[in-house]
Structure 1
Amino acid sequence: MPAFKQTQRVHDDAFDPSDSASAHLYISFGAHRIRMGVLDAQRNKFVALEDYEVERPSTVENAISFLQTQSVSNPLLQERKWQQVRIGVKNQQFTLIPEALFDLNAREEYLRLNAVVEPEHEMVHHHEHPRLELINVFTLPAALHEWSVPQFKNSPVEFVHQTSALMEGMLHMAERSARPHLFIYVDKNYVTLVVLQGLKLEFCNSFFFTSSEDFIYYVLFVLQEKKMNPDQDAVTVWGELLLDSELHEILRTYIRHVQFGKKPTGVGFSYRFDALFNHRNFDLYSLHFCD
């Protein structure tokens, strides 16, 4: 099994894991990447971030095994009592249902319309978005739930989908405008595209890509579907995208106004976070807005 390696570690000088009872622990969980962030609830400020990745393809089981190992050695996971634990799950198995049509007993049926659900390995959850009047129905690995509940038995634990965090974070950053705005979040081999018009969700989906041509195809397809103009409408990008990358270059080739997103407003960051790119970790930070 490929090994997870720490790629980033940011801790505020005053951060003490033993103060967990007045802090929130946010975990972004994916088979290939796991990040943990700590927010000091009294100061409403992020004070710690740790990032772990594998270089080769990994599995959910391998990621769970890594968390189990970290439970013994990592102070963030050794502390069992947090004011809030929120875990964001990265996968393509989600669907958005209008609030007025949502039936709790039909969650799995909604999901089966566009995803394969494996009840022996997965659990079906949902997250409410009152401002968008939507419910996000998604799967989470049963093994992740089985690890989390006893691990944080003294803390309230909540599961959300990565797209829920992104939608809430982007909604938080969106400006009221008559024109729709495309927000792009880039993961390794995945791109999530969200279109907001004012505070109304027009589009949200996640796509797998293996080349820059695939990537720009999905972006241009959504722009066309939403009747947006790549020469006039601005596009905001967060995630794993560097200024000198092939993906950024092809974006700038086809879209005139490309801007990198910033850290979310409405929450503070230790000065230690100044060393990180502002447009990275937006999905982790945005777990804070999933109340």
Structure 2
Amino acid sequence: MTTMSIPFEKNKVMEEQLWRTFVDYPILTKSYDEVMVIHDNNLNAFVPTSLFDANFLASYLQYNTKVFETDFFTHDVIFPYEMNNIYVPFVNINNFLLDQYETFEYQNSNSVLVKQLLDSSKNKEEKQVFVHVQKEHFELIVVKNQQLILFNSFQYKTPEDFIYYILFTCEQLQLNPETILVQILGNCSEDDAYFKIAFQYIRNCSLLDVSNKTSILDVTPTALRNHFILYHS
């Protein structure tokens, strides 16, 4: 699998940047049997199937994110975990891509992330903390034997912000930093200040071990951790 990162500027029109990307990379204009679009944002909430009603999607988000009446809401079914991820997709991006491809599927990035971490927690009775690091925010997920204990997303600017949110979450869940296992993935390496400060305050802190999948996907561990969601979508 080949991956490519193309930075977009926040203060420029998204559709214009997408158009330029398709011009610069003709491979995107080819015909494909299947196209999957991953919407990477934290405008989402996980809801158990027993409490889920597709007629009231906006209601699930109004307490933890800013939503508007004009927003479009959808959801991903997290199979087989009897859970749904309600989120706000980037409608302008979808509309642009509809002009490029006859059809495509899309989902929220956190649906992929949480499902993979739940899969990996099978038969592990101890609680595990996963930290998925991105440029300006990170996701914190706590699981126990295929049960989602907590999902949250935090914006950060400094290593001190980073470790504060992790330790605060551990405190709220009564997880001991001396014993809890914390695994880090995403845009992070052992040389990063963010990993170093986490390693300083958390005894069992490490990068996520992906050695069992690197040979299958023919990718380096660093690349697999960095593009974990993309490789598992």
Fold conserved between structures, TM > 0.5:
yes
Q: Does 1:184 align with 2:131?
A: yes
Q: CA deviation at 1:200?
A: 0.6
Higher mean alpha-carbon deviation, 90-99 vs 68-77, is at 68-77
Q: Give the corresponding residue for 1:171.
A: 118
1:141 partnered with 2:109: no
SS in 2 for 1:241: coil
Q: 2:225 aligns to what SS in structure 1?
A: coil
d(CA) in 1 for partners of 2:53, 2:157: 36
Confirm whether residue 53 of structure 1 aligns to residue 7 of structure 2: yes
CA, structure 1 residues 276+258, in 2 after alignment: closer, same or farther (shift >3 Å)?
closer
Secondary structure (helix, strand or coil) at the match of 2:232 reads helix
Q: Secondary structure at the match of 2:99?
A: helix
Amino acid at match of 1:58: K
Once the two structures are superposed, residues 36-68 of structure 1 have per-residue CA deviations (whole angstroms, 9 ceiling, x without a partner) of: xxxxxxxxxxx21111125xx615x64432222
**Which aligned segments of 4 or more residues in structure 1 are displaced greater than 4 angstroms?**
none
Aligned residues, how many?
232
**Partner residue in 2 for 1:42:** none
Does residue 118 of structure 1 match 2:118?
no
Question: 1: distance between equivalents of 2:150 and 2:76?
Answer: 17
How far apart are 1:99 and its partner, in Å? Answer: 0.6
Does the Cα contact within 8 Å between 2:214 and 2:220 map onto a contact in 1?
no
Q: Which amino acid aligns with 1:148?
A: L
Normalising by structure 1, we get a TM-score of 0.73
Identity of aligned residues (%): 22
Amino acid at match of 2:229: D
Residue 242 of structure 1: how far off its partner (Å) = 2.2
Partner of 2:30: 79
Q: Do the aligned partners of 1:94 and 1:137 also contact (CA within 8 Å) in 2? A: yes
Kindly indicate whether the alpha-carbon contact (under 8 Å) linking 1:94 and 1:111 is maintained by their aligned counterparts in 2: yes
| Contact 1:132-1:201 within 8 A present in 2 as well | no
Contact 2:129 2:142 in 1 (8 A): yes
3-state SS of paired residue (1:52) = coil
User: 1 CA distance for matches of 2:44 and 2:166?
Assistant: 20
User: How far apart are 1:240 and its partner, in Å?
Assistant: 1.1
Contact 1:236 1:258 in 2 (8 A): yes
> Shift of the alpha carbon at 1:76?
3.4
Q: Determine the structure 2 residue equivalent to 1:90.
A: 40
The whole-number CA distance in structure 2 between the counterparts of 1:196 and 1:190 is 20
- Counterpart of 1:170 in 2: which secondary structure? helix
Q: 1:256 aligns with which of 203, 207, 223?
A: 203
Greater strand share, structure number: 1
SS of match in other structure, 1:70: helix
SS in 1 for 2:2: strand
Give 1 or 2: higher helix fraction: 2
Q: State the distance in 1 between where 2:161 and 2:221 align.
A: 31
Gaps of 5+ in 1: 1-46
- TM-superposed CA distance for 1:225, in Å, is 2.2
Q: Determine if contact 2:61/2:67 at 8 Å carries over to the other structure.
A: yes
Residue pair 1:177, 1:197 contacting (<8 A) in 2 also? yes
Deviation at 1:119, TM superposition (A): 4.8
Q: Is the 8 A contact 2:184 2:206 kept in 1?
A: yes
Q: Which residue of 1 aligns with 2:53?
A: 103
